[in-house]
């Protein structure tokens, strides 16, 4: 066992030279299952052990939905402003800079157009990593412009919601986005262009109260948390105990708030099937 013994004593390794296990090699699901990160990505970020749908962002959804991951991002230069000079524990401007630096995103939604199963599709996708996917003026504006693009080019529109609700740092300006996006979706309906809404974990607050529930087809991922207010608020308001599984996608499907719950592996096929059926065209 000589190879195991140090011949020199007092050897110290500087902290910066120490070899730690790289982060992100493994993922632990809420049920305690351990999954290799590469295996998880290959399985579309769904745990093969228990079917748990890991929270992902716009990059991953675009990879799933667009053919060969080819798409063009729209309106990518729009950024939020601190209209109200808002300050809580820190300035809103600082929060924006931190979020942009950490996530490499401009705001909590991205809009892109590309081919999905050979046909054009506009997809607006929220990113929870950016200030909890909060809905501010930029989110509403980019969604509105995405809908205008769909109307102009006669392309189906898809919204992927993932949000903690309205952005408090923009106060009433954020709440205005509910009416703004709802009005734009009414124009999309008048133009007879399909709108598919996908609710993912979590879809809450003003997002749920507006565009997330206005689809021609409203779908969700398995196990997603979907609701307006949190369970504690609902219980305190109603004074009643909540049913088991309250605010999960499966519960909402059973009670008629959703049309389908779609596994991520079937998402691309399902979305395009719904579009073909709505347009009364041959199924791709």
Return d(Cα 116, Cα 66) in angstroms, integer.
5
Return d(Cα 108, Cα 106) in angstroms, integer.
7
**224 with 267: CB under 8 angstroms?**
no
Return d(Cα 173, Cα 158) in angstroms, integer.
24
Closest CA to 82 of 191, 209, 171: 171
- Among residues of the chain, what percentage have pLDDT more than 70? 92
If residue 220 lies in a helix (H) or strand (E), which one and from where to where? strand 217-220
**205 with 228: CB under 8 angstroms?**
yes
Q: What is the DSSP letter of 116?
A: E
The label of the residue with tokens 């998402």 reads: 267
Closest CA to 161 of 74, 225, 83, 245: 225
Closest CA to 29 of 63, 64, 67, 55: 55
Q: What is the DSSP letter of 229?
A: S
Express each pLDDT in 81-122 by its tens digit: 999 999 999 999 999 999 999 999 999 999 999 999 999 999
Torsion angles phi and psi, residue 190, rounded to 5: -65, -30
Express each pLDDT in 40-83 by its tens digit: 999 999 999 889 999 999 999 999 999 999 999 999 999 999 99
**Between 234 and 250, whose confidence is greater?**
250
Return d(Cα 284, Cα 277) in angstroms, integer.
10
Query: What rounded mean pLDDT belongs to the chain?
Result: 91
Helices (H), the chain: 37-42, 58-65, 92-103, 137-153, 171-190, 231-238, 249-254, 267-278
The label of the residue with tokens 């689809």 reads: 215
Return d(Cα 202, Cα 204) in angstroms, integer.
6
Express each pLDDT in 145-192 by its tens digit: 999 999 999 999 999 999 999 999 999 999 999 999 999 999 999 999
pLDDT band at 25 (very low <50, low <70, confident <90, very high): confident
pTM of the shown model: 0.88
Per-residue pLDDT at 7: 58
């Amino acid at each position: 066992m000589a190879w195991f013994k140090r011949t020199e004593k007092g050897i110290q390794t500087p902290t910066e030279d120490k070899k730690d296990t790289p982060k992100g090699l493994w993922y632990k699901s809420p049920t305690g299952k351990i999954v290799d990160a590469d295996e998880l990505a290959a399985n579309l970020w769904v745990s093969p052990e228990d079917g748990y749908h890991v929270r992902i962002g716009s990059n991953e959804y675009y990879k799933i939905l667009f053919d060969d991951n080819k798409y063009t991002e729209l309106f990518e230069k729009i950024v939020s402003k601190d209209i109200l000079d808002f300050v809580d524990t820190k300035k809103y401007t600082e929060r924006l800079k931190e979020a942009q630096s950490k996530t490499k995103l401009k705001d909590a939604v991205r809009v892109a157009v590309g081919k999905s199963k050979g046909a054009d599709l506009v997809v607006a996708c929220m990113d929870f990593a950016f200030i909890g996917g909060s809905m501010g003026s930029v989110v509403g504006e980019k969604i509105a412009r995405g809908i205008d693009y769909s109307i102009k080019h006669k392309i189906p529109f898809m919204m992927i919601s993932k949000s903690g609700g309205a952005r408090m740092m923009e106060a009433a300006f954020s709440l205005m986005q509910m009416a703004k996006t709802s009005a734009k979706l009414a124009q999309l309906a008048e133009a007879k262009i399909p709108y598919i809404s996908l609710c993912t974990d979590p879809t809450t607050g003003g997002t749920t109260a507006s565009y997330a529930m206005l689809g021609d087809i409203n779908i969700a991922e398995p196990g997603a948390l979907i609701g307006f207010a949190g369970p504690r608020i609902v219980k305190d308001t109603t004074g009643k105990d909540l049913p088991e599984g309250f605010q999960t996608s499966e519960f909402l499907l059973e009670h008629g708030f959703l049309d389908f719950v779609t596994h991520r592996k079937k998402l691309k096929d399902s979305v395009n099937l719904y579009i073909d059926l709505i347009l009364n065209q041959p199924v791709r």
